[in-house]
Structure 1
Amino acid sequence: MHYIKLLRPPVVEFVRSERCLRLVLAITTDLGDSFFSPKDPVDLLVIGAYTTRKDRKEQLVPVVLTQKSAPKWKAGMRVLKLDLPLPPHPVETIQIRPANRQLTALGTTDIYPPTGQGLILAAFSDILLEKNATTPSVCFRSLRLPTPDNQTLQVEEDMGDSIARHIWDSGIATVSLLADMLLGAGNSPNERPMAALQQLLLQPRDHPLNILEVGCGIGTLGIGMARLLALGQHSKQLAARILMTDLPEAEERARANISRQAEALSQASAPSLDFESLDWEDGKDGVFGEQVQANAWDLIVVSDCTYNTDTLSPLVQTLSALHGHSAQQAAARPKVFLSTKSRHSSEREFWDLMAADGWSIQEEAGLPLPHIDGGGNPIELYLFEKKSREIK
């Protein structure tokens, strides 16, 4: 997949006596290590939106800002700068995406099931017009979920081209698979990958499903699971509990994204969703925060955390310590669900470390990742299990 990335905050300025919106963007892979290089130029569409009141209700009105001439992204480009005339109405948000709908990922069904076409994830940003307003440092992604009312999953990320506090391939692709798994009606369970994972998520139980995410980043996977479990909630199912964990520097963005789901998760039957700091250097020794310590976990999820080989050993040891904690807490045997995109061969050390620590693969699958030229590594999915030692 490729991503439209805002490299700087959008700025409203006067250009030749005309009020314009200045944008600086690029189209790259998730880590920004490769620029989009299409065979033919790709037209881009920038859509603004403003709020109006009609029939005592507020409505969002879209307006195309690229009507006069469509900006183009061409092979060899590394940055695209735009000056777009603004309408008289105060534009509050913008959406930037390919003009060709077939190239655009606007919903989870554009990503899974695989369509065989390359996709580019749109970028969204708020526009602040007030004087002395703080310039926004984040943009956000929005994906339609397969619901009758087209509910959307929104997560914000930092602007710029760093890899920290950004959306990554595995999280967005796995959420799209889970949307089909938990809400989709097109495929039978036998036709979907990861049937054992689906059964674990949906099986009736006498306690809330406790899910712990390690290395959550901005929270794409954990938040996506919470939203999807809420939408697919069966009347007899107890509300799930999802706790996302990462280093302290991830907390601000993760909590901001949790806040974005407040209305959607306001029902009593919706999963609870929270964040707690967890450093794997502590976790490997069984040192956990209050919330991790207070619960026995049914499922531990990990997404895009195998790229840094220096952290693989403490990660695996943390997973085993969490397994041991849950076994002592409630004789639970949590499974580990991993979604990852292999970036380099040295990552395979993770699987060796898992095997050496007593973990075995119960289920695995490959998830093709939409790519404009048919290339790119797939998302690898694994469900690990581990036998607990008998507790005396």
Structure 2
Amino acid sequence: MHYLRLLRRPRHVAPSPGILHVELVVTITTDLGDSFLCPSDAISLRASVEVGSAAYALSPSPQLQWAPGQRVVKPRLALPPVAVSAWALGQVVRVCIKTANDALSAKSLDSILESATDPNASGLVMPLCVVLQGKGDASGGEYTTRRLRWRRHADAWTCLDIDEEIGESIARHVWDAGVVAVAALAAGAHGSLQSTTAQHPLMQSVMQVLDGAGPGLNILELGCGVGILGLGLGAIISRPCTLLMTDVDQAAGACTRSNLVRAEPSAAKLSYEMLDWEVARRGQFGPQVRHRPWHLIMLSDCTYNADALPALVGTLTALSAANSRQTHGGHGFITRVLVAMKPRHASERAFFHLMAAQGWKALAETLVFQLPEIGRESGSVEMHLFEKEP
């Protein structure tokens, strides 16, 4: 998948009273930012501005084309009077950019899952929105927002908004495996019973874990980044639960806390705690992690760094041991781990050898999604479910 991104904060230009232009520096890259979108033909982009619940299309800019070999576009967008007035009053004004062709837009979890399960699908580009700061601040917004719609019922849609930092840091952006995993979990929880994803043995096993934990369901996420997987599952799940997201603060920090504050009310009680795997592998956890046993531990996009794998697997094993101590000596308590990953290099396979060496076993066959990418060979996203008996 490719992602529209801002390389710097929006710049406001007011050439005369009542006139406001917004200058953006936009790129389109893969999730790690290691490759630019290179289509065979130019792709048109479309910009709009949102004021409250109303959206207004912005006049096409000559710079809103992404051509083969391009690395950046710098559109200058003229805002309509209603947006200029709202901005002057300090109201929330958002500028959004997406592909003009909706078939190329990763606009919803449904469209992402369809692309990942249809062998004839083309790749997608994820849209972005950015909030313009008020009249007294010409620096523009601090974050861009990924807005993913998903269908809770046949005629009811829900919005999941995830903030990312503006700029080139890969740590504070959503990555492919987390996005696809959320789409798959939404299908498992609320999708059609005829859905191949909902019917897959791994997804059915995950749903059994979520449904079979009784009234005190506890879910722990490792390496949460900006929180796409934890916040996504928190929005999807319909039963009360505790969902704790963890990471080192360099990778999450203020951006994740901002997403937690803005999260829509749900059945899940969401929170965040710092967790360093090098410390956690020795059984040393923060107070929230120590406080309860965890029925499901989950992680996405955490296996790409082979040097960190021993600490990651050691942390999982230490959490399993802590679970056993929390549950009357461990009688009957089995720790389960859901892993979503986008394989990027052969060294990641060491994760599975380390898991096997520490007694973790696969609970279900791997769920694999093909991930087509425009102008590139398709990648894939894998979901694995492990368990470890006390």
Please report the TM-score for the alignment, with normalisation by the length of structure 2: 0.89
Instruction: Tell me what 1:56 maps to.
Output: none
Instruction: Tell me what 1:36 maps to.
Output: 37
Structure 1 window deviating more from structure 2 (353-362 vs 93-102): it is 353-362
Q: Is the 8 A contact 1:209 1:241 kept in 2?
A: yes
Secondary structure at 2:377 match in 1: coil
User: Which runs of 5 or more residues in structure 2 are unaligned?
Assistant: 85-92
Matched residues in 2 for 1:246 and 1:75: separation?
37
Instruction: Tell me what 2:387 maps to.
Output: 385
Identity of aligned residues (%): 37
Deviation at 1:164, TM superposition (A): 1.5
Matched residues in 1 for 2:297 and 2:229: separation?
12
What do the CA deviations read for 1:86-135 (whole angstroms, capped 9, x no partner)? 21122510110000010001110001133422211000100123113664
Secondary structure at 2:350 match in 1: helix
Secondary structure at 2:312 match in 1: helix
CA shift in 2, pair 1:49/1:209, >3 Å: same
Deviation at 1:193, TM superposition (A): 5.2
Instruction: Tell me what 2:187 maps to.
Output: 180
Deviation at 1:166, TM superposition (A): 0.8
Matched residues in 1 for 2:60 and 2:236: separation?
36
Match of 1:65 among 58, 62, 65: 58
Secondary structure at 1:381 match in 2: strand
- Runs (4+) of structure 1 moved beyond 6 Å? none
Instruction: Tell me what 1:280 maps to.
Output: 277
Deviation at 1:65, TM superposition (A): 1.3
Matched residues in 1 for 2:261 and 2:273: separation?
15
Instruction: Tell me what 1:328 maps to.
Output: 325
Match of 1:77 among 54, 67, 70: 70
Aligned length: 367
Deviation at 1:373, TM superposition (A): 4.3
Matched residues in 2 for 1:211 and 1:185: separation?
25
Q: Is the 8 A contact 2:44 2:99 kept in 1?
A: yes
Structure 1 window deviating more from structure 2 (12-21 vs 379-388): it is 12-21
What do the CA deviations read for 1:265-299 (whole angstroms, capped 9, x no partner)? 2xxxx111100111111111100011111101111
Once superposed, what is the RMSD of the aligned Cα atoms? 1.9
Instruction: Tell me what 1:2 maps to.
Output: 2
CA shift in 2, pair 1:120/1:186, >3 Å: farther
What do the CA deviations read for 1:175-195 (whole angstroms, capped 9, x no partner)? 001111111126354357532
Q: Is the 8 A contact 1:104 1:122 kept in 2?
A: yes
Matched residues in 1 for 2:151 and 2:172: separation?
26
Instruction: Tell me what 1:54 maps to.
Output: none
1:339 aligns with 2:332: no
Secondary structure at 2:313 match in 1: helix
Deviation at 1:21, TM superposition (A): 1.1
Secondary structure at 1:376 match in 2: strand
Instruction: Tell me what 2:143 maps to.
Output: 138
Matched residues in 1 for 2:110 and 2:285: separation?
37
AA aligned to 1:360 is K
Instruction: Tell me what 1:11 maps to.
Output: 11
Matched residues in 2 for 1:185 and 1:8: separation?
41
What do the CA deviations read for 1:238-273 (whole angstroms, capped 9, x no partner)? x11111111123232111111111x432xxxx1111
Q: Is the 8 A contact 2:12 2:140 kept in 1?
A: no
Deviation at 1:377, TM superposition (A): 1.9
1:95 aligns with 2:96: yes
AA aligned to 1:194 is M
Secondary structure at 2:371 match in 1: coil
Secondary structure at 1:150 match in 2: strand
Instruction: Tell me what 2:248 maps to.
Output: 247
AA aligned to 1:281 is E
Instruction: Tell me what 2:90 maps to.
Output: none
